[in-house]
Chain A
Amino acid sequence: MSVKKKFKGLSDKAVAWLFIGPSVFLLLAINIYPLIYAIRMSFTNFYANKIGREPQFVGLKNYIKVLNKEAIWEKMQVTANFMFWTLLLQAVIGLGLALLLNRKFKGNELLTTLIVLPMMLSPAVVGVFWTYLYNPQVGLFNYVVNFFYDFGSFDMIGSSELAPWSIVIVDTWMWTPFTMLICLAGLRSVPNYLYEAAEVDRASKWQQFIYITLPSVLPFLLLALLFRGIENFKMFDMVVELTSGGPGSATELASINLKREAFEKWKTGYSSAFAVILFVTIFGFGNVYVKVMNKIKER
């Protein structure tokens, strides 16, 4: 009775806070506090494994060090290459598959389920089993490639030219279904009367695709690419299992390097600065991207 009374007197605002309070608390505790702490650490020479050594304020030294380090720029370049090719391939193949599956044919549902399967696997597991598929002696990948054209024995993971492609191929294999599903949702939301009107106007299939399908599906595709872009910027597990960042540092993405600096070398201050730079980069790109996406939507 008394509880009922108590809640009866709560304003709408108070009830709203009651609902969102736990989420806000968790957000502050799990996301915001660590972020502020990392920013604070980034201005110190803190090493988490050096017990008893007090961190000292070093100003912008860590940021300058990160930005001036050639190796960091190499890792960023590797990450950019990885992102560019995976996003491009996933956009093209994902949209193609969505267009295919948007048609009605026998076995459509079974095919959709089969295509979506890779996405449901753990990235670490995918990394491990692709190392076997890429094995030059017994791997299926070499066999299939050589079936079409005899390249002889080649080592996808051991060659600096091929290793970056090896991770692009695996990521594309795994995540194209995601792009496909989002595009498929977009395609199914296009009203049929648009195509009927186009038919009446004698628009060709190509014109229908360019003027109806593509503009309708583009916001969905861009959204899918935004998600994939963010994910691939922080890609870690699959690549570590597949190549460990090698050969040398040919596939060492920024996130792998960050992990090594932070939790193997224990350069906490330095790696915090690196993490902040990565955060600002992805946050900046993300914001610009969302603005562009909204503009496209408004058109």
Chain B
Amino acid sequence: MILLFVSLFAFSANSNAKSITLGWAAWDPANALQELTKEFTAETGIDVNFEFVPWPNFADRMLNELNNKGKTFDLLIGDSQWIGAGAVYGHYVKLNDFFDKEGISMNDFSPATVYAYSTWPKGSENYYALPAMGDALAWAYRKDWFDRPELKSEFKKKHGYDLGVPASWDQLYDMCTFFQGREIDGQKRYGAAINTERGSEGITMGVTAAMYAWGMEYENPNKPYDMEGYFNSPQAVEAVEFYRKLYEGCAPPGHSDAYMVANLDAYKSGQVAFQMNWYAFWPGVSKEDSDGRVSGFFANPKQNVAAATLGGQGISVVKYSDKQDLALEYIKWFARPDVQQKWWDLGGYSCHNDVLNSPSFPTSTVYAQGFLDSMGIVKDFWQEPTFVELMLPMQEAIHDYVVNGKGTAKGALDKIIEEWVEVFEADGKL
């Protein structure tokens, strides 16, 4: 009987406890955030439940939830491209008044991240998220192989410059082909694990890393949504052709539908010399270096210009939540510089200037300098409310050209523009 009362009391106490639910993707930084959040609960007594969704289903799950005005999440760490839809369709709470009231200044955060993760319309002072997780597409390489004298001298003899961090995509290609099919320690190795995934956003994130470096612009800066001659410029075409060359000449066999996890697997299993991936994974890669593997990291190489594909997310309060006050309390806590420092220490990528501008930051990890370099040169895919409609035709056309080998790069880009025009027309932008 006593036990029954105790359990009833416990149940009742638990059901009365203050709690919120935070949704994010299931990956390493999410675990770090879970760890960090224990301090929030200790300080405020507010329990935070987490729902982490695997990347392939992340956008589908979250956007369906928002479109259905779901109350599952009080806080959402959503992709940078969702900010337009979040603001325009009223899924996210506008945070300006809250920031003013709590003295949270967007000037305290890296400008590139505020622009990308928080504002809509872009660059305006309307904030719908707090920059939560800075990220960009970058590269990891097998430093232990690069340091081998016999490989260094062979490479120098062949290409006339040192084997090391590539200064351009051309050099990256030289190095990838150098390792392609090469036997090292009795095993056949390959050049690079690059993004080729078809289903969600993988190949687009990969190919744009090249396109940005070649100087591609999505639209005429003076005439928004005028894409002809910009998105399909000769430089953009060359970049897409290059990406196909990289896939054909440097990817391991069967790497035709690969994104984050597949790239990590190819690298960790010792198949490849390089992997393309998000900074978010570098703490894990660095920590797991073993059996002689030493990883080096570098920002996206320059070709015509220095540029990198933006990743990362802001944290937003969901408009349909019944616990907006508790969710805002979490954001207030998360914005504190001391919390942001702990966030970085645990493996999250803080966007707070106090963390990034600290003199010890560039040497705090082997990838910190690369992260700083990248965040200064990032470019993002369309952040329009219709970004999914814009992403899908690009996925299909680029995959068709790069992996399937069908048609031409120019043809693929023209086809994408054609579809995008239709999307913008339907959305009343054209």
Contacts and interface: CB of A to CB of B under 8 A. Distances in A.
Interface of A: 45, 47-52, 131, 134-137, 139, 153, 155, 157-160, 240, 243-250, 252, 260, 263-267
B328 interface: no
Contacts of A243: 198, 257
A64 B46 CA distance: 55
B403 A248 contact: yes
Contact of B400 (A52, A247, A264): A247
A173 B430 CA distance: 49
B256 A248 contact: no
B406 A248 contact: yes
A131 B262 CA distance: 12
B89 A247 contact: no
Contacts of A266: 67, 388-389
B392 interface: yes
Given A49-B85, A244-B198, 20 more contacts: A48-B67, A50-B89, A139-B254, A155-B253, A155-B254, A158-B254, A158-B255, A158-B256, A243-B198, A245-B198, A245-B199, A247-B198, A247-B399, A248-B198, A248-B401, A248-B406, A252-B396, A260-B392, A263-B60, A265-B389
Contacts of A249: 396, 400
6 contacts: A137-B254, A243-B257, A246-B199, A248-B396, A248-B403, A264-B389
Contacts, number: 92
Contact of B256 (A45, A48, A246): A246
Contacts of A139: 254
Interface string B373-409: 0000000000000001100100011011101111000
B252 interface: yes
Contacts of B392: 260, 264-265
Interface residues of B, number: 31
A248 B404 contact: yes
B372 interface: no
A4 B26 CA distance: 59
A264 B61 CA distance: 11
Nearest to A50: B89
Nearest to A47: B426
A55 to B, nearest CB: 13
Given A51-B89, A244-B257, A248-B396, A263 B64 contact: yes
Interface string B327-349: 00000000000000000000000
Among A47, A243, A249: residue with most chain B CB under 10 A:
A249
B63 interface: yes
A45 B422 CA distance: 13
Contacts of A137: 252-254, 271
B197 interface: yes
B234 interface: no
A157 B254 CA distance: 8
